[in-house]
């Protein structure tokens, strides 16, 4: 089974990238992007990370989180 989790939340996406590196970015218009994460058999962490994120129990390294934000912003503003 393969489907996707989509979000426009940059902070959430920065956390998800740390645990689920299979993602893509879709630019809907000049002011909005959508982050698309693959949900499949080899990536069963996605739902667990989402659950922990929304329950405020996810623990991440501040440096890794900051680097993840920088990476996503770089990818967003690439031509």
Q: pLDDT tens track of the chain, all 79 residues? A: 468 899 999 999 999 999 988 899 999 888 899 999 988 766 578 989 999 999 999 999 999 999 999 999 999 988 6
How far apart, in whole angstroms, are the C-alpha atoms of residue 35 and residue 17?
A: 10
* Residue-level pLDDT at 43: 58
**How many Cα atoms sit within 13 Å of 10 on the Cβ side?**
14
Backbone angles phi, psi at 60, to 5 degrees: -135, 155
* Residue-level pLDDT at 1: 42
Dig out the tokens for 57 from the structure.
Answer: 């129990």
Dig out the tokens for 51 from the structure.
Answer: 């659950």
Q: What DSSP character marks residue 44?
A: T
């Amino acid at each position: 089974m393969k489907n996707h989790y989509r979000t426009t939340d940059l902070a959430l996406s920065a956390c998800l990238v740390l645990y689920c590196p299979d993602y893509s970015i879709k630019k809907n218009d000049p002011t909005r992007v959508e982050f698309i994460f693959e949900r499949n058999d080899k990536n069963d962490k996605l739902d667990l990370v989402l659950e922990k994120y929304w329950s405020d129990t996810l623990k991440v390294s501040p440096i890794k989180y900051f680097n993840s934000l920088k990476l996503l912003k770089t990818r967003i503003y690439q031509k």
